[in-house]
Structures are given as structure tokens and as C-alpha cells.
Chains A and B, each alone.
Chain A
Amino acid sequence: MSENELNFDDKLMSMLHIIANEGINNAARGFSGLLGEKLTVNNPGVRMVELKEIPHILGGPENEAIGVYLRAEGDISGQIMLVIPYDKALELVDLLIGNPPNTTQELGSFERSALAEVGNQTGTFFINSLSSLTGLDVRPSPPAVMVDMVGAILDIIVATTGGVSEHVLLMEANFELGNRKVETNFWVIPDEKTLNAIRFGAS
């Protein structure tokens, strides 16, 4: 890598860190608001991950999980994904609906809509922050809820970014809810053209 490329990537990474920090904290606020409880934000950060590694980050590609996926579109574009292990998702639904623990045993359309709304508010709050930081226009798509193996859920990310690169740039955090320990992984993956816009616009 040439000196120049390194500099661009340093600048890019530092901008991404700023965006990630603000965005993730705002996203956590959106999520918290639905629950009326404060969330802990664990391990927020930005990193490059090899495509092949993606399905293994969340404990294994065959584990059952819920993925809530939405896209950010506009002057800035990218993907947003919340992933929750299946059992934790059931607990989260209980919390959202206001049920005692272990009430929810299955994820019907009503329960999925609650998880979709978590994705919507969390993702939209991230996007609001992005728009406010950059002054650019960015809007969310409606969310899609997937209940399946982690590998299958994450294929959309791999397939969308995989044609262009062997690596995926991830902005990530883990949201944890105090006493009921519902862990939700939150990922933001900027599109290559957005990274380029930031990279070449940053000077």
C-alpha cells in the first residue's frame, strides 16, 4: 500500500470512528426508548472483517437467530443488521410486550413486528445521526425480519459486498439489557461507493 493510500485509510477510519460513535450511541437511545430501559453499549467500534469470517462472528453459521435488516439509501448508502440469538429474541419480545419472562415461545407475525420495530427505531436513529453529522440526505428502508440460521441470515451482507471485495467494513456494537441480559448485535456496513465518497471527499 502506498503512503497516500495509507493516509486516506487513516482519515477514512477516523471519520468512520466518529460516525460510528455518535451513530451507535444514538441507535442505542432509539432501542432503549422502545423498552423504557437503558441499554449498555458493549464493544462499539469499526473494523475490517474477512468475508469468510462473517458467519462465524456470531457463534456459528448454523445457530438459529433473528436478523432484522434494513438499508440506508440516499447520499449515503449501506446496510444495517441487528442479529439476536433465537432464545434472546424470545426474551426481547417479552420485554417489548411487557410480558413476564418465558411467555413468548414462538415468533408469529405479531412478535416479528415487534422485532421489526426494534430494527426500525435502532436503525433509523443511527441514520438520523449520520444525516445530522454529515448534512447529507439518508433515509431508511422498512425492515425485514429473518428467523433462520446465522449463515443464511448473513448471506445478504456477504452477497451484497462480496462481489466488490474480500473484506467487509463493519461498524458494530453489542447492546445489552441490564438484568435480563438480552444481547443484540448491531452492524452497519457502508456501501463501497459511500466509503469512496468519504475517502475521496475527505481532504
Chain B
Amino acid sequence: MRDPISVGLGERVVSRDPEDVLVAYGLGSCLGIGMIDPVSRVCGLLHAVLPAKNNGTDPFNPKFVDSGINGLIEEMIKNGAMRNRLVIRMAGGANMLTAPGLSKTFDIGARNIESAHDVFQSLRMTLKSEDVGGTRGRTVRLYVGIGRMTVRVIGEKEVDL
């Protein structure tokens, strides 16, 4: 069996190979956003770190939620996907620091989630499902062959997203 393809911090991977499994490991405040075109079987996974690219020059920079989503859509389409067929699921955006005195200032997770919702709204695209927020890390897997996305939390079983 082939090794899964790790989608690291600020990366995106698009695949049409049915044997591929795309994985974003240990998402804390980061967001794992998956897109699946069930007809062309093109799948993509984005591992975004921060909410907005602000002044950066790359409109598709995968490090940021806003540019990252646009970049993922663009690459999916280049690989044969159609925008109106995209099934979108996302996970992550936890607040890992829940100690008093620290947590309020650093809820980047919540800001990432908000940014994603804003982008999807402005693109008039709907999220099929999400498992976001909370205080626990998540690993997200996208099985390209069957277009299945899962989430796993430490100590628990892998479940469908």
C-alpha cells in the first residue's frame, strides 16, 4: 500500500489518483479544507495556517485561508474539476490554549474558521460539513479513490467528516 501524502503547514495537494490518501496531521488552530468533485474524481486538501493574506503578492498562497481556498479551487479546476460540483468539507480551527490569561488573545482557530466562512459566502459556495473549533487537535484524511474525508482525534476512532 502506498504511503499517504502529507499535506503540511501552508500546503495544498490536488490529486486524481484513486490510490492516493491526502493527510493533514495534527491540525490545532490550522484548518484542513477538502474539496471533492465526485464526477471527475479530482480531490484536493489545503492545510491553511492563518486567516488572511493581507498584503502578500500570491493570490493563491496556501498558508492563508482566503488565498488558500481560492488557490485550491483554481488548481482543482485546472485538474478537471468543475466549481459547481465541488463538495467542500473542513476541520480544525481549535483553540489549543485554554489556560486563563492566554486563551483570549490567541484564538487564531476561531479567526481561521470565520475567514473560511466569509470566503465561501462571498464565493456563494456551501460547506457540506465541518468539524471545527473546540480544544482538541485533529488529523484529516481525504481518500481520493472514494472521495471520503475523515477526522481523527487522539484516543478516538477515525470518523467521517
Q: A54-B9, A152-B94, A152-B137 are in contact. Are A62 and B100 (CB under 8 A)?
A: no
A148 contacts B96, CB within 8 Å?
yes
For chain A, the count of residues having a C-beta within 8 Å of the partner chain is: 31
Q: Mark A39-55, 1 if CB is under 8 A from B, else 0.
A: 00000000000011011
B28 contacts A155, CB within 8 Å?
yes
Residue A85, interface by CB 8 Å: no
B102 contacts A144, CB within 8 Å?
yes
What is the predominant secondary structure among interface residues of chain B facing chain A? loop
B139 contacts A146, CB within 8 Å?
no
Residue B89, interface by CB 8 Å: no
Count class of interface residues, chain B: 20 to 34
Which residue of A is nearest B64, CB measured?
A163
Q: A69-B97, A151-B25 are in contact. Are A141 and B50 (CB under 8 A)?
A: no
Instruction: Kindly identify which residue among B8, B30, B49, B102 contacts A71, using a CB–CB cutoff of 8 Å.
Output: B102
Which residue of A is nearest B101, CB measured?
A142
B25 contacts A160, CB within 8 Å?
no
From residue B103, how far is it (CB to closest CB) to chain A in Å?
Answer: 8
Q: A51-B9, A142-B102 are in contact. Are A159 and B49 (CB under 8 A)?
A: yes
B10 contacts A156, CB within 8 Å?
no
B102 contacts A141, CB within 8 Å?
yes
Which residue of A is nearest B97, CB measured?
A144
B27 contacts A155, CB within 8 Å?
yes
9 contacts between A and B (CB under 8 A): A141-B102, A146-B96, A148-B26, A149-B26, A149-B139, A152-B26, A155-B96, A158-B30, A163-B50
